Structure 1
Amino acid sequence: MKITARIFLIVAIFFFLDVPVYWWLSHDPTGTAALIMAFGMSGMIYFYLDFTVRRIGPGPDDRDDAEPYEGAGELGFFSPHSWWPFVMAAGAAGVFLGIAVGFWLCYFALPFMAYGIYGLVFEYYRGENKHY
Structure 2
Amino acid sequence: MKTEWKIFLIISTFLFGATILYGAWTAGDSGRVEWVGTVALLLSGLLTTMCGGFFWFVSRRIDLRPEDRPDGEMADGAGEIGFFSPGSYWPFGLALSAAIAGLGLVYWQAWLLGAGLVAVIFAACGLLFEYYTGTRRTAEH
> 1:19 aligns to what?
19
Report the alpha carbon displacement of residue 101 of structure 1 after superposing the two structures with TM.
6.6
Uncovered stretches (5+) of structure 1, i.e. residues with no partner:
none
Report matched runs for 1:37-116 at 5 Å.
37-99=43-105, 100=107, 102-116=109-123
Alignment RMSD = 2.5
Amino acid at match of 1:67: E
Secondary structure at 2:81's aligned position in 1? coil
User: Which of the pair is proportionally richer in helix?
Assistant: 1
TM-score of the superposition, structure 2-length normalised? 0.71
- The unaligned stretches of length 5 or more in structure 2 are 27-32, 137-141
| Number of aligned positions between the proteins | 129
For residues 3-44 of structure 1, give each alpha carbon's deviation from its aligned partner in whole angstroms, at most 9, with x where no partner exists.
Answer: 332221122122223212212222333322331232123223
Which residue, 32, 43, 49 being the options, matches 2:38? 32
Instruction: Report the Cα distance in structure 2 between the residues aligned to 1:37 and 1:81, rounded to whole angstroms.
Output: 39
**CA distance in structure 2 between the partners assigned to 1:15 and 1:120 by the alignment:** 37
One-letter identity of the residue aligned with 1:77: F
Report the 3-state secondary structure (helix = DSSP H, G, I; strand = E; otherwise coil) of the residue aligned with 1:61.
coil
* CA-CA distance at 1:72 after TM superposition: 2.2
% of aligned pairs identical? 38
Q: Distance in 2 between matches of 1:10 and 1:120?
A: 37
